[in-house]
Chain A
Amino acid sequence: MNIKMKVGLFIPCYVDQFYPNAAIATLQLLEKLGVNVTYPANQTCCGQPMANSGFEHLTSGCNTLFMANFKEFDYIVAPSGSCVLHIKEHIHTPNHEDDKNISGKIYELTEFLTDVLKVTHLTSNFPHRVGLHQSCHGQRGLHISQMSELVEAPYSKPQTLLNMVQNIEMITLKRKDECCGFGGTFCVTEEAVSAKMGKDRVLDHENNGAEYITGVDLSCLMHLEGILKRKNSKTKVIHIAEILNAS
């Protein structure tokens, strides 16, 4: 990649508000790799919470804002598979060419690192036992990892990057890519099932000795963190950017 290329940093609203450290790690990591990265201050939300609840028709304000904030960049990068997938598939503004353009240049962080920057080594060090949670929208939507349902050769962009981290120990899960049950507004409208799914996911990581659960989406991790804290678990959650940026 031409390092003169301008990259717009897209930070999902709940990351901005609740997990600034993951956003800071994303920014620092990209800067370390020599990327010319800017955070447009007027960004809010991609509109996914409304759209997934059936209110896509109320997202035009979000779409217009997103377009105004990110149109001029060569690439858009976000530490979230879910929000990236939403923009890729559902941004609708009056100008369809602009929409197509945005869809073609928006990347989830790990796919940007592997596919565009073609990162082959990292200087990070993270001496812990870590379980990787495959967030569905990144995995089954953006195809950042092979999916257990499909008969295809294995690959995983987040895992490839985690393998470059020194002293990290990855654990093996019983169910390697089951949904955690967050699901946007699903987590409150279907509270019982959502919580049960989260508890089951957490238990899989705990049973296999994870000190940390990591992943590309903090929405899933926020849900899992809520369950871990409620049961006073020693296991913590951490966004993948914080591991890749750890020293």
Chain B
Amino acid sequence: MIQELKHHATLADDFNQNEDRVGWHDDTLWWIREKRDKIAWQVPDWELLRDAASNIKDHVLSNLNPYLVQFEANAIANGITVHWAADAAEHNQIVLNILREKEINKLVKSKSMLTEECHLNDFLAENGVDVIDSDLGERIVQLAEEPPSHIVLPCIHKKKEEIGQLFHKHLGTPEGNSDPQLLTEAARHHLRETFLSRKATVTGINFAVAETGEFVVCTNEGNADMGAHLADVHIACMGIEKIIPERKDLGVFLRLLARSATGQPITTYSSHFKKPRENQEMHIILVDNGRTKQLGREDFRNSLKCIRCGACMNTCPVYRRSGGHSYHYAITGPIGAILAPNLDMEKYADLPFASTLCGSCTNVCPVKIDIHQQLYKWRQVIVQSGYAPKAKVLSMKAMAFTFSSPFVYHTAGKMGRAVLKYAPFTVNNKFNPWYKQRDMPEPPSASFGEWYKKNRN
């Protein structure tokens, strides 16, 4: 049962022990949300662009099979080896097999949320392969032995002083120095050495074009390119939903992605990979890992439209004040909360409840996923599947009983107000979570119903 796990509310409570830090985290992400607003307003047809993206993705989800087959055929014709993985374990094994065949035991990896979802790093480490993440944020959390807390900004939860300490320990920067330029330079030297010495690279895929068999990787640091251009083996991993029909569709998605993610007009690098260089091997792994199951869930299938921009995290008032790690899943925030229960409903039963259903996520989503509506629907599915805490079930049944009868409701209301008035100590105590940081409302002497009876009938 979910009470036994450390769930979102508990982890968020831990995060809130340092209120100043919560304020800092909130302000940092809100600043990115504001950057996103500013740049979205520079595109007069922003809402039309979102519609277009949503329609293309809907179309792809309804025709996923033919597009995947078309993509595979074109990629093979381009000289790329294509693999299919049903789940995370198969995906990880395919990567390992490719490396073993080439007798490679060192790998450089650019950012890929899919590999986080599959826990590829842990699997490869267990099998004697050394992995270095080349995205700066990912490298920082890797050194800290933590998972990313945000899909676009993996170390957004870390202050620069903490990064300075980490770099001092691992990269030998001067103690107590947290100058961002110095730290970035240190990381650059460290990674340059990595790029030059690694024979294999793993990258993610932002968009896979069915029409041409090419794929596009978007980064700000050029780290995917550095890896891919220097390594003998390039393995690119993608969830099967990353397909787009034609190259021209990129005109829609590339305009939306970086604007939504960080408020930039476009990522610094939007690199197209179509075929291997001479003497290079290029592999694509197409991964299902629960996606076809989600596609079969009518209410939740359109969560697969996600292009992993992270805008829903930056705007989410709960995410900003609970931190990415409180979601205990690779994809954090509102989108993670509607993707995770598909994989393990019991383990992630808490996540759809980690929301006020304010709807801001739905409004910023560049592909118009109705995130908050799906959170509501997941709550129903989770409760109906028996994953609600027992105490909650009982209180909800009592509530339903009270509200189903005007007599019981009026009596209970009167009693409740009397208790608040004459015995406030029964509710104003530490067992009442409302009272911990908030006063209870002042009980009036009469309800509106009672007043109305006296004054209008």
Contacts and interface: CB of A to CB of B under 8 A. Distances in A.
A49 B416 CA distance: 17
A224 B444 CA distance: 18
Interface in B393-452: 393, 396-397, 399-406, 409, 413, 416-417, 433-434, 436-444, 446-449, 451-452
Contact of A230 (B43, B401, B439, B452): B439
Given A45-B409, A190-B9, A192-B12, A54 B379 contact: yes
Interface string A2-38: 0000000001010111111101100100000000000
Interface string A107-126: 00000000000000000000
Contacts of A188: 433-434
Nearest to B49: A151
Contacts of B37: 148-149
B123 to A, nearest CB: 33
Contact of B448 (A20, A55, A62): A20
A65 interface: yes
Contacts of B22: 196
A195 B444 contact: no
Interface string A42-62: 111101011111111111011
Interface in B373-393: 376, 379-380, 382-384, 388, 392-393
- For chain A, the bracket of interface size reads 35 or more
Interface residues of B, number: 77
Interface stretch (A98-106, A155-163, A176-184, A207-215): A176-184
A196 B446 contact: no
Contact of A183 (B40, B355, B360, B453): B355
A151 B39 CA distance: 10
Interface string A190-226: 1111111111100000000000000000000011011
Interface stretch (B59-67, B238-246, B315-323): B315-323
A231 to B, nearest CB: 9
Nearest to A150: B363
A246 interface: no
A168 interface: no
Contacts of A184: 356-357
A36 to B, nearest CB: 13
A50 B395 CA distance: 9
A182 B41 CA distance: 30
Interface string B23-63: 10010001000000100110110110000000000000000
Given A43-B406, A50-B399, A190 B439 contact: no
Contacts of A24: 448, 451
A196 B447 contact: no
Nearest to A31: B456
B449 A59 contact: no
B359 interface: yes
Contacts of B23: 200
Given A54-B388, A140-B363, A59 B441 contact: no
Given A20-B446, A61-B403, A191 B363 contact: no
B68 interface: no
Contact of B439 (A19, A179, A183, A226): A226
A184 B358 CA distance: 11
Given A24-B451, A45-B409, A53 B392 contact: yes
B16 A54 contact: no
A52 B439 CA distance: 24
Nearest to A148: B37
B221 interface: no
A20 B454 CA distance: 13
Contacts of B409: 13, 44-45
A175 interface: yes
Contact of B441 (A16, A18, A41, A55): A18
A182 B358 CA distance: 10
B406 to A, nearest CB: 4
Nearest to A23: B448
A65 to B, nearest CB: 7
B439 A16 contact: no
B344 interface: no
Contacts of A52: 357, 376, 379
Contacts of A150: 47, 363
B317 A197 contact: yes
5 contacts: A49-B399, A56-B380, A61-B400, A62-B403, A140-B362
Q: 7 shortest A-B CB distances, which residue pairs?
A: A61-B404, A226-B438, A183-B356, A54-B379, A149-B363, A54-B383, A140-B359
Given A24-B448, A226-B438, 20 more contacts: A15-B448, A17-B447, A18-B417, A18-B444, A19-B444, A27-B456, A57-B384, A61-B400, A151-B40, A151-B41, A151-B46, A178-B317, A183-B358, A184-B356, A188-B434, A190-B353, A192-B322, A193-B12, A196-B321, A227-B437
